[in-house]
Amino acid sequence: MRCSQRRLALAYPLWVSFDTLMKAALVMYGTAIGVLWISTLALAPAGYRFSWWRPVAAALLMTAAGKILRIVLSPFLGDWFALLLFPAQILIVSAVLLLPFWRSILVAGIYVGVVAGVYSVLFAKPAT
């Protein structure tokens, strides 16, 4: 086993291969962008038009915010950093998708629910 393969084997559980992980990441981002686009289209005010780039930017920024908050706040708060993640996602949705505050809460809630469901389906360890 080469060094890079050994590092990869230590970084990921045995039941997840790198190829599977990349496919899952594509499915996760595809789902996240689709959910943001559909929910924004459904909840946007009348006459509101937006491009595909806004949901793409929102999905990337929400992922980055989650990672940054985990790195910065988890040493101090533990898993309680997740309480600050949802307000950060609401602000990102409001700023990037240019939605009113209450509609941003709905879009962020739909996003969190769907992404959590897809994550549990893709990455839940099979029972043995």
Q: What residue spans of the chain are helical by DSSP H?
A: 3-11, 18-43, 53-77, 82-97, 101-123
Other beta carbons within 10 Å of 111:
24
pLDDT, tens digit, for every residue of 83-99?
A: 888 999 999 999 998 88
Give the domain ranges of the chain.
Answer: 17-123
pTM equals 0.74
User: What pLDDT band is residue 17 in, cutting at 50, 70 and 90?
Assistant: low
pLDDT at 103 over 80: yes
Residue 89 · residue 9 · CB < 8 Å? no
- What pLDDT is stored for residue 76 in this prediction? 84
pLDDT at 70 over 60: yes
Is 113 in a helix, a strand, or coil? helix
**CA 69 to CA 13: how far, in whole Å?**
24
